Amino acid sequence: MKIAIPVKDDSLTFFGNAGHTPKFAIFTMQGGGMFKSFTLDEIKNNPRTDLDHDHDDENHVCDHDHDDAEHIAQHDKMGVVLDECDYIVVNRACKNTANTMKNHGVSIVKYTGNSHDANAILKEVAGNFTL
């Protein structure tokens, strides 16, 4: 099972806004129940070309129309990159991101805790991942 977590960089610092994250950390989950473990497979760049990665977009609010074809196409790029994933862990995601993930078979798990470390977050939300 593959799980994506939006991160700022290779430090695996959680980036709460899934649609505006610079990168995605892709983990594989092994085991089950209390014996679940996670292995980092790779870090993928967010393929959206309409983002400004020089400024912190973590608190950005997506106010685009849900019928804005160009904007939706940018979100769809994320779905293609995460197509192998079963889940994505987010603090927030706009409707366009949610629709894209749904269309690519990626379930969204909401994280509301205080950790900023992707590995710690995976352990906190592990109960949400089912085979």
Tokens representing 41 are: 């497979």
Give me the architecture of the 2-128 domain, per CATH: 2-Layer Sandwich (3.30)
Q: How far apart are the first and last CA of the chain?
A: 7
DSSP H or E stretch at residue 106: none
Domain boundaries, the chain: 2-128
How high is the pLDDT of residue 51?
Answer: 65
pLDDT digits (tens, 9 = 90+) for 96-115: 899 999 999 999 999 999 99
DSSP 77: H
At residue 87, does pLDDT exceed 60?
A: yes
How high is the pLDDT of residue 100?
Answer: 94
Residue 3: band (very low, low, confident or very high) from pLDDT cuts 50, 70, 90: very high
pLDDT digits (tens, 9 = 90+) for 18-50: 888 999 999 999 998 888 999 999 999 999 877
Please say whether the beta carbons of 5 and 25 come within 8 A: yes
Residue 125: band (very low, low, confident or very high) from pLDDT cuts 50, 70, 90: very high
pLDDT digits (tens, 9 = 90+) for 4-14: 999 999 999 99
Q: Which whole number is the average pLDDT over 52-57?
A: 51
Tokens representing 78 are: 């994320």
Starting at the edge strand that comes first in sequence, how are the strands of the sheet with 2-7 ordered? 37-45, 23-30, 2-7, 87-90, 107-110
pLDDT digits (tens, 9 = 90+) for 64-84: 555 678 778 888 999 999 999
**Cα dihedral sign, 47-52-56-62:** negative
The helix-helix angle for 95-103 and 69-81 (nearest 10°) equals 50
